[in-house]
């Protein structure tokens, strides 16, 4: 297990892609810190599962990704508990679908905060520890929407484009330190985030649920299949290997060919 002795923090990891990341890291022996919202009993069961899988510790931190002070505290608590932070995955995300002239300003602020500003706060807190250790991996879940736009998703598209720019900048700043900084940009993955945006898309476009899935979501992906969380996590795991130490500042697509067109 090549991550034994490493600590991985994954934001937004109580379900979906984030949980797949956490499980992949635990399977390779990492101490994992999970974060996100959900039922407390279910979160505790997940934490126990990860600890049993890794043979190391696992922790849950409830830091709110809208609050920079709580994010910084999450990083520092992980360092105090485990001695360092080796892997940071910025995965927390929310979505709202609406035309720009009807887009609620509070939804804009929340999406930018959770999907972009939280990554600034985590990186700002984690990078000094990684530089000191001479090794680190920062991976952010971007999206095919970091490369292309879709109707009625102005805040999400803006946040994901910004996340790629932040990644490139921090990759340059850490290039000689043993730290790599990359994005993974999935296409449509069947997660609660995708499931929850279907009603809004139905309303915005006057479509049925089946039409949204077939004619909006999967229409974008030439494979006509959803990406799986495990496929995304497998790429993140590779980025943590020494074989990937020259990959930094990259935005790696896992999108069924969506952005090839």
**Active-site residue list:** 156
Distances (CA, A) of 24 to 18, 39, 171, 184, 248: 10, 22, 24, 15, 21
Q: Is 1 helix (H, G, I), strand (E, B) or coil?
A: coil
Inter-residue contact 34 to 47 (CB < 8 Å): yes
Q: Give φ, ψ of 235 to 5 degrees.
A: -70, -40
- Secondary structure E strands in 3-80: 7-10, 31-35, 58-61
Q: Cα separation of 6 and 29, whole Å? A: 8
Six-digit token pair at 151? 């109707």
- Cα–Cα nearest to 81, from 65, 58, 99, 103: 58
């Amino acid at each position: 297990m090549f991550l034994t002795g490493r600590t991985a923090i994954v934001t937004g990891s109580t379900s979906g892609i984030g949980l797949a990341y956490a499980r992949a890291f635990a399977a390779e022996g990492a101490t994992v810190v999970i974060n996100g919202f959900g039922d407390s009993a279910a979160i505790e069961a997940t934490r126990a599962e990860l600890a049993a899988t890794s043979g190391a510790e696992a922790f849950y931190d409830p830091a709110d990704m809208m609050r920079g002070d709580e994010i910084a505290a999450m990083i520092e608590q992980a360092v105090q508990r485990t001695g360092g932070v080796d892997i940071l995955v910025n995965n927390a995300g929310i979505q709202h679908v609406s035309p720009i002239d009807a887009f609620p300003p509070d939804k804009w602020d929340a999406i930018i905060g959770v999907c972009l500003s939280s990554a600034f706060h985590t990186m700002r807190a984690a990078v000094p520890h990684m530089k000191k250790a001479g090794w680190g991996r920062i991976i952010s879940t971007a999206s095919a929407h970091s490369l292309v736009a879709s109707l009625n998703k102005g805040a999400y598209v803006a946040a994901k484009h910004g996340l790629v720019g932040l990644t490139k900048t921090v990759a340059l700043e850490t290039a000689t330190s043993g730290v790599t900084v990359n994005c993974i940009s999935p296409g449509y993955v069947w997660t609660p985030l995708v499931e929850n945006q279907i009603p809004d898309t139905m309303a915005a476009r006057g479509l049925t649920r089946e039409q949204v899935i077939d004619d909006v979501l999967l229409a974008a992906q030439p494979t006509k299949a959803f990406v799986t969380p495990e496929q995304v996590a497998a790429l993140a795991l590779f980025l943590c290997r020494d074989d990937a130490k020259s990959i930094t500042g990259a935005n790696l697509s896992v999108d069924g060919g969506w952005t090839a067109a």
